[in-house]
Structure 1
Amino acid sequence: MERPEQAPREAPAWWTAARLPGEAGARPAWALLADEVLAALPAEGDWPAPAGADDHLVFRHAVLPFLTATRVLLVQRVPAAERVWAGVESWLAGQLTALAARTFVLELHTAKKAGLLRGATGRDRFVDFLRLLGSRGHLTGVLARHPVLARLLAQTCLRTADAVAELLTRFAADRDALRAGLLAGSAAELA
């Protein structure tokens, strides 16, 4: 019979390495969102539309699942958010790709050295890397190796959803006052 001090310990959850000093307790909201994003990914990634190498959103395909999760959260809270989503999505995609770019470049080089990438040209291999990032197993591995990146991506999504929901809620509450005061006599239409 094993003594309690000799019982095998359960491995800590992947997200515990990204906790701040003094943080403890249950799984935080950002880890729940990251887990939700990863669970929704297909086992095999799809082939993205090729992006130009000079495009600042070259890794947009890899953060699409986070964008999708943010949209769902936001529209559940404020259905009117659907009308402004295109602008929010454009801004958020830029934020997420900027956060992830260096890590994804590191992972690209690691995958290349390991011989994981298929394709005859550098562009083909890059598109294959994006396909890998679109798969549950690969992106889970990347975020497990870089849990702070997972935290940053998920927190950015959650904070964006919170900010846009608050903005739209306040705007709806103040719409009549804006029409009567600040925009009185203006041809501008407030949707």
Structure 2
Amino acid sequence: MTDVPDDVATAFDRHDALAADGDGYVVETTSFDGRVTATEGEDWRTDYEVTVRAPTLQAATEDEVGDAVADGWFETLERRLEDAPKATRTAVELDEYGVTEDGDEVVVTFRFSLGGERQAADVAKTFVEYVEGTYVEGIVPGYDYVGVVAELLDSASSGASEGSRGGTPL
């Protein structure tokens, strides 16, 4: 059962891309782990938190990634993800935004408030998809990628999924 407000739960339950999971919802349209939670905010607004977990560059490849490449990749990803609100059809002002590393994962967090539950569901989906798309666009050529990143690259270049791939389709 989710712990989100009832009106949000109704809108999110009806959304094709979202599925109830624990205390929130999981976004099912991406390969990365994207989740959204909601709590009652001020007045007629609801506060939302969208969290996306993706592998670090080192975790996504069999090869050793140097510190300069890994740091540059992370900093570039962080800067590019700041534009996520521009990808939505709803005017969204972020209350908080962060990109951190947690072991072998990059954790991206967007916090915002909205009054419309259906719009919030669309915004959450868009944020998660934006993170995945931006991540794939930022893949560094020349490495042998594994796991979910290899599957994304294979899918982008050929529609197939073998779980291991080198280079980038871009």
TM-score range normalised by the length of the shorter chain: 0.3 to 0.5
What TM-score comes out, normalization by structure 1 length?
0.35
Q: Which has the higher strand share?
A: 2
What TM-score comes out, normalization by structure 2 length?
0.39
Q: Which has the higher helix share?
A: 1
